[in-house]
Structure 1
Amino acid sequence: MSENVLTIENATMQFGGVVAVDNLNLKVDKDQIVSLIGPNGAGKTTAFNVVTGVYAPTNGAVWFEGRKIIENTPHGKMKKLYKGQNASKYSHMIAPTPDKITQMGIARTFQNIRLWKSQTVFENVLIAKHCRRSTNLLSATFRLNADEEKRQREECENLLHVLGLEDVRNELATGLPYGLQRRVEIARALATEPKLLLLDEPAAGMNPQETEELTAFIDRIRTDFRLTVFMIEHHMDLVMDISDRVYVLDFGRLIAEGTPAEVQNDPRVIDAYLGVDEDA
């Protein structure tokens, strides 16, 4: 029986009168690569922002490794504005900040690469380690954290070696080719020691060769780091090649789910997304 890592339960995200995510339910099982697809504006990144604490959902809950980590219910003015379902099912507000979500073991990358411009590849990755530090201001001031700092630097060096980035460790991260910048961003996420990795359109802006290399890269890190991966992606070759399960959003609503083959042949998906001519 598969072990569930992430569950999004009846999640609705409403901005004013606009429902961006409408009663979303999905599950991500351990060691799987699960993809969330759909047209632009379907609510995919909004769903990621709910999971990672950027937004508190208007309604619903998120579970991680069997523990409820996020919950909300319509309150204040939203009680009257709310257009979603299950308004009376939830009664508590659990809204951890993104840094707390990261400490729990959920890391993410972004659709638009967000590397620190003035930092090298190594420095970008090392900074991400700070969420795992056990030291405080006093111990840092008096250099009582030297052993921990040394260990974290060694871990970053090893991570860059494993990911094939050691040759560019001293390069400014934002000066690298686009495909390598994506790898550095993923390396930075891996430095937080996640159990669940969220990738928001990792192949955006890549050419076919870079996309093919990234596909193999994601599959390899899933195995090498024993990770569960939840991914938003528009490149269907990538999605169909490595996904164990696919969910499809359209106008904030889940319209299909299943294996890549099942989703690819679903008439609703073809009408809403896969059958659209991108050049039209």
Structure 2
Amino acid sequence: MAQNVLKLENITMQFGGVVAVKSLSLEVNKGEIVSLIGPNGAGKTTAFNVITGVYSPTNGAVYFNGKKIVENHPRGKMKKLYAGSEKGQYHGHLEPTPDKITKLGIARTFQNIRLWKSQSVFNNVLIAMHLRRTSNIFTATFRLNLKEEKKQRAEVERLLKILGLYEVKDEMCTSLPYGLQRRLEIARALATKPQLLLLDEPAAGMNPQETAELTEFIRRIRDEFNLTVFMIEHHMDLVMDISDRIYVLNFGALIASGIPEEIQNNPEVISAYLGESEDSNA
């Protein structure tokens, strides 16, 4: 039986009367590459923001490795406004911050690259690795953490070599070509030693050659780092090539799930992406 790494249970994210995600349930199993697709504004990034603690859901729960890490239920004015289902199922309130979610073993990248622009390639990765440091203000002040710092710097070098970024380690991150900036952002996420990697449109802005290289890159890091990958992507060639399973959102609701072949031929998915044909009602 497949081991569940991530599970979303009846997640609704509602902003006043606007429902961005409605009663979303899905699962991602260990070692899979799973994609979440849908038209612009379908609620994909909102779902990622709930998983990573940026938003507290209006209702529902998130499980990581079988443990509930996020939970909420409609409160205050939302009790009357709530438009999702399973309103009375949840009673707890778990609202971890993004740093706590990352420490649990969930890392992410963003649709718009968010590197530390004033830092080198090396320092971008090293700063991310500091999340796992055991030192404190006292040990840092009196330089009692030298052994740990040396170890982390060696780990950064090893990571950059694996990911093909070692030759540019001393360059400012903003001087890198776009494709390498994307790769650096993934390297920075890997520096936190995640079990689950969330990629938000990793191929955005890439040309076909860069996209093909990214496809192989994602496969390789999944295998080399023993990762599970959950990905938002609009580039359908990449999605169909790399995904074990696909979930499809439209207007915040799940409309389909399955293997790539099933999704490719699903009439509701085709309609959501392409719209109804002029003679569909004829």
TM-score range, shorter chain: over 0.9
TM-score (norm 1): 0.97
Identity %: 72
Q: 1:43-82, aligned counterparts within 5 Å?
A: 43-82=43-82
Partner of 1:161: 161
Secondary structure at the counterpart of residue 148 of structure 1: helix
Distance 2:264 2:69 in 1: 32
Distance 2:224 2:47 in 1: 27
Q: Structure 1 residue 130: deviation in Å?
A: 1.1
Query: Which stretches in structure 1 are left out of the alignment for 5+ residues?
Result: none
Q: Structure 1 residue 76: deviation in Å?
A: 1.2
Distance 2:275 2:195 in 1: 35
Question: Aligned AA for 1:184?
Answer: L
Secondary structure at the counterpart of residue 7 of structure 1: strand
Query: Which stretches in structure 2 are left out of the alignment for 5+ residues?
Result: 278-282
Secondary structure at the counterpart of residue 134 of structure 2: coil
Question: Aligned AA for 1:220?
Answer: R
Q: Structure 1 residue 79: deviation in Å?
A: 1.0
Distance 2:51 2:87 in 1: 19
Question: Aligned AA for 1:225?
Answer: F
Structure 1 segments, 4+ long, off by >3 Å, are 274-277
Secondary structure at the counterpart of residue 14 of structure 1: strand
Distance 2:174 2:274 in 1: 33
Aligned residues: 277
Partner of 1:208: 208
Distance 2:82 2:151 in 1: 49
Distance 1:158 1:88 in 2: 49
Q: Structure 1 residues 276, 224: closer, same or farther in 2, change over 3 A? A: farther
Partner of 2:110: 110
Distance 1:156 1:86 in 2: 45
Partner of 1:132: 132
Secondary structure at the counterpart of residue 147 of structure 2: helix
Partner of 1:173: 173
Q: Structure 1 residue 223: deviation in Å?
A: 0.6
Q: Structure 1 residue 158: deviation in Å?
A: 0.1
Q: Structure 1 residue 274: deviation in Å?
A: 5.6
Q: Structure 1 residue 137: deviation in Å?
A: 0.8
Q: Structure 1 residues 4, 177: closer, same or farther in 2, change over 3 A? A: same
Secondary structure at the counterpart of residue 203 of structure 1: coil
Q: 1:145-160, aligned counterparts within 5 Å?
A: 145-160=145-160
CA contact (8 A) 1:264 1:274 kept: no
Q: Structure 1 residue 275: deviation in Å?
A: 6.6
Secondary structure at the counterpart of residue 179 of structure 1: helix
Partner of 2:144: 144
CA contact (8 A) 1:12 1:58 kept: yes
Q: 1:89-104, aligned counterparts within 5 Å?
A: 89-104=89-104
Secondary structure at the counterpart of residue 112 of structure 1: coil
Stretch of structure 1 that moved more, 132-141 or 54-63: 132-141
Question: Aligned AA for 1:18?
Answer: V
| CA RMSD of superposed structures (Å) | 1.1
Q: Structure 1 residue 27: deviation in Å?
A: 0.2
Distance 2:84 2:3 in 1: 29
Stretch of structure 1 that moved more, 76-85 or 109-118: 76-85
TM-score (norm 2): 0.97
Distance 1:32 1:269 in 2: 22
Distance 2:62 2:73 in 1: 13
Stretch of structure 1 that moved more, 153-162 or 72-81: 72-81
Q: 1:257-276, aligned counterparts within 5 Å?
A: 257-273=257-273
Partner of 1:255: 255
Secondary structure at the counterpart of residue 34 of structure 1: strand
Partner of 2:280: none
Distance 2:275 2:172 in 1: 41
Partner of 2:37: 37
Q: Cα deviation per residue 1:41-85 (whole Å; 9 max; x = unaligned)?
A: 000000000000000000000000010000000111111111111
Secondary structure at the counterpart of residue 21 of structure 1: strand
